Structure formats: C-alpha cells, structure tokens
Amino acid sequence: MFDEADEITVELLLKPVALGLIAAFVMSLVLSIGKSEAQFQTRLAANFRSVVYLSVPIVILGYASGYLTGISRAAAVGNLIPAMLTLVGGLSIYLFKESSDSFTRTVAFSVFMFGFSIFYGAQVGAYTREYKQADRLIVLSNQELRVRNYRSNAKLPGDLPEWITGAAKN
C-alpha cells in the first residue's frame, strides 16, 4: 500500500509534528503555572489545546521551508531569509497594536518555533543532500544497468537515442 516515497513523506512530516507537540506541551506548562493543582490541570489542558493549534502549523511550514532550502542546490536562502524577516516584522507591528501579555507570548513563541524549525529543516535537508548522495548515485547506476541489459537483450544499441535523454551529442 505504501511505497518508498510515502514512507519518506510520512517520516519527514512526523518530525516537525512531534517537534510542534513537544514545544506546545512545554509552552503549555509554562503558561499554566499557578496556585492550585486543580486549576493547573484545567489551565494545562486549555493552554495545550490552543498552543497546539498554533505551533504545529507553524512548525510544519518552517520545517518544510527549511528542508526544501537545505536540500535544494538553488540559492533559495536569498528568498527565504527576507520572507522570514518580513513575517517577524509584520507580527511585531501587530504586537505593538495589541498589548496583552498572552498575545505577546504567543507571537514570541510563534517566531521562535518558526525560526527553530526553519533551521532544523535546513540542517536535515542539507544532511540529506550531502550524505544521501551516494545512495542516489547507486539507484541511478542500477537503473542504468537495467536499461542497458534490456537494450542489449532486445538487440538495441547500448547508447540511448537523443530523443530519450534530451541531450545533444557533442
């Protein structure tokens, strides 16, 4: 039912979701500190629910942005950093309009989680790009071998024609 691409996708999505849930729990603990035990448990449940709604989407967005930046060979960092700074600046301007402490903590938590998840995603993407390169080359070599064997068994020339590869011969 699941192929390798599905397994990789699920693995890549579980990391940021787990990170978001752990961060939401820690933030909920901090926000729920109070006087009595009963009130603490009630506040913890309410805070966890509201912080999860905030942290998981932000962490997934940050992780995906960072991962794609890290795995890409294109200069995506030049576009990602200004976008991230624009988001932080926009949230900060909105924060000055609102003066509640809970909103200030929420924005600070969001900015922290977004920045942390971008950094984490970029590290995972760069690691995947650099250290999984040998695995990718082995897969490509095995594909090439299968194609060459097929062409040899079908009594076709060993080199692929230009219309298949799209490459012009020099």
Which pLDDT tens digit goes with each residue over 13-38? 888 888 888 988 988 888 888 766 76
Mean per-residue pLDDT, 66-80? 78
Pair of tokens at residue 121? 């995603």
Give whole-number Cα distances, 160 to 11, 140, 152, 167, in Å: 36, 15, 11, 10
- What pLDDT is recorded for position 101? 65
DSSP 154: T
Looking at the 3D structure of the chain, how many domains does it have?
A: 2
**Residues in the chain, total:** 170
Which residues does 24 contact at the CB level (< 8 Å), separation at least 6? 48, 51, 52, 54, 55, 56
Residue 7 exposure: Cα atoms within 13 Å on the Cβ side: 4
Structure tokens at 132: 């999984």
State the pLDDT confidence band at 78, using cuts at 50, 70 and 90. confident
Q: What is the pLDDT of residues 86-122, one digit of tens each?
A: 877 776 676 666 666 666 677 778 888 888 888 898 8
Same domain, 152 and 99: no
Same domain as 149, residue 114? no
Q: Decide if 103 contacts 95 (C-beta within 8 A).
A: yes
Pair (80, 96) in one structural domain: yes
Are 113 and 154 within one domain?
Answer: no
Integer Cα distance of 46 and 42 in angstroms: 6
pLDDT bin (cut points 50, 70, 90) of residue 169 is low
Q: Is the same domain home to 46 and 94? A: yes
What's the rounded mean pLDDT across residues 42-71?
84
CA 34 – CA 30 distance, rounded (Å): 9
Query: Could you tell me if 124 and 77 lie in one domain?
Result: yes
Name which of 41-45, 117-121, 140-144, 148-152 the model is least confident about. Answer: 41-45
Q: Which domain holds residue 54?
A: 4-130
pLDDT of residue 167: 65
Q: Are residues 121 and 38 in the same domain?
A: yes
Q: Which two three-digit tokens encode residue 156?
A: 């076709």
What single string gives the DSSP state of each residue in 50-68? HHHHHHHHHHHHHHHHHHH
Instruction: Identify whether residues 101 and 141 lie together within a single domain.
Output: no
Q: What is the pLDDT of residue 168?
A: 60
Instruction: Tell me, yes or no, whether 44 and 60 share the same domain.
Output: yes
pLDDT greater at residue 24 or residue 2:
24
Instruction: Output the average pLDDT for the chain.
Output: 80
User: In terms of domains, do 105 and 43 share one?
Assistant: yes
Give the pLDDT confidence score for residue 108 in this predicted structure: 78
Read off the amino acid at residue 11: E
Same domain, 34 and 95: yes
Q: Are residues 105 and 142 in the same domain?
A: no
pLDDT at 82: 81
